[in-house]
Amino acid sequence: MKNRMLEQYATAAVVIGSIIGTYFFSRPRQSGFRTRLDREQQTELDRNLLTPANATFGLVWPVIYSGTVGLAVHQALPSQTDNPRYAQARPLLWVNSALNALFGYFFSKSDRDSRTGAALTTIALLPVSLGLHRNLEIGRQAVPEPEKTLRRSISLYAGWLTAASVVSVGNLLLQAGYRVSPESATRWAFGVLSATAGLGIAVSKRLDDPYYLTTLIAAFAGIAAKQTGRNDDLARVAAGLALLLTGVLADALRRKKPEQPAETAPEAAEPALPVPA
């Protein structure tokens, strides 16, 4: 019991420490809901037509991080020592925290190698987030509050990393020197955005988790906001896909079946009362 409690406390400390560390690494570039990046980083992101407006990051990450901190604290409570979902999730919480800290380190620098490292780390975080989603049994088992609400931060995290991984692939291509004409870049963006929306719908259904779509919707809305006045055709496509995903989300929430109750230890049977002869 004591060892398990130590593991719970250590997990909470690692998760929270990783988030705080990432915040301070990027703090010089933060200003309210707007993120100021180094000129090279910003130029690269502006060339990548799949990048949401900077303000989108400032809105999404605080929600994800707040929920993840709450999840880390909740799993450390004595009442959660025998929670099998948290026990399954702890190893991946450690891996996620390590990668998150590595991303913060790369993000704090603007040289090409660091930008490449940040992109690769983002892509590596996606399967970890999906593993956390599986181990927390989201979409499969009903759980009591506050676990029910707190684990939705992982749903949002997985959705956001799906969009961020698409952006990161684009960044890697730009860093490798891949260039196309503005017209071709727009056509490619149309195709990638449509494919990402389709993938998001498929993954959401596979996970039985409509909330996964929430941050994908935010990403598409952020792309539409950024491209308005720059590339209006792309802005309209991104906005249309955001509306499509919103409709899918609303319909999925309406249709969603109740999750199966989490297994609990059977209560001790009461002794039978004597039956009169």
With contact defined as beta carbons under 8 Å apart, do 69 and 15 qualify?
yes
pLDDT greater than 70 at residue 216: yes
How many C-beta atoms lie closer than 10 Å to residue 160's C-beta?
A: 26
Which of the residue ranges 43-47, 129-133, 172-176 would you say has the lowest mean pLDDT? 43-47
Q: Indicate if the pLDDT at residue 259 is higher than 70.
A: no
Q: How confident is the model at residue 37 (pLDDT cuts 50, 70, 90)?
A: low
pLDDT at 30: 45
pLDDT given at position 119 = 94
For residue 251, give the H/E element and its range.
helix 232-255
- Across the range 143-156, mean pLDDT stands at 95
Looking at the predicted structure, is the pLDDT value of residue 195 above 70?
yes
For the chain, what is the mean pLDDT? 87
Considering the chain, what percentage of its residues have pLDDT values greater than 70? 86
At residue 178, the 3 state secondary structure works out as coil
Check: CB of residue 223 under 8 Å from CB of residue 186: no
Phi/psi at 32 (5° precision): 60, -130
Residue 264: band (very low, low, confident or very high) from pLDDT cuts 50, 70, 90: very low
Segment 243-247 mean pLDDT: 97
> CA–CA separation, 42 vs 55, rounded Å?
13
Residue of 209, 217, 212, 208 whose CA lies nearest to 247: 217
Q: What is the pLDDT of residue 196?
A: 96
pLDDT at 53: 93
* pLDDT (0 to 100) of residue 240: 97
Residue type at position 76: A
Of 67, 63, 82, nearest to 8 by C-alpha is 82
Contact 78, 167 (CB under 8 A): no
Strand partners, 260: 141
User: Which is higher by pLDDT, 42 or 266?
Assistant: 42
Look at 33 and 261; give whichever has higher pLDDT: 261
Q: What are phi and psi of 34, to 5 degrees?
A: -110, 140
Q: What is the mean pLDDT of residues 153-174?
A: 95
- Whether residue 43 is predicted with pLDDT greater than 90 in this model: the reply is no
Q: In whole angstroms, give the CA distance from residue 143 to residue 149.
A: 9
- The structure's pTM equals 0.86
Predicted confidence band of residue 269 (pLDDT cuts 50, 70, 90) = very low
| Closest residue by Cα to residue 61 from 33, 86, 88 | 33
Higher per-residue confidence, 145 vs 270: 145
Q: What is the DSSP string of 106-132?
A: HHT--SHHHHHHHHHHHHHHHHHHHHH
pLDDT band at 110 (very low <50, low <70, confident <90, very high): confident
At 44-99, the pLDDT tens digits run 767 889 999 989 998 999 999 999 999 999 999 999 999 999 999 999 999 999 99
pLDDT band at 239 (very low <50, low <70, confident <90, very high): very high
Bridge pairing between strands 141-142 and 260-261: parallel
| pLDDT tens-digit map of 7-29 | 999 999 999 999 988 877 765 45
Closest CA to 96 of 7, 200, 3, 14: 14
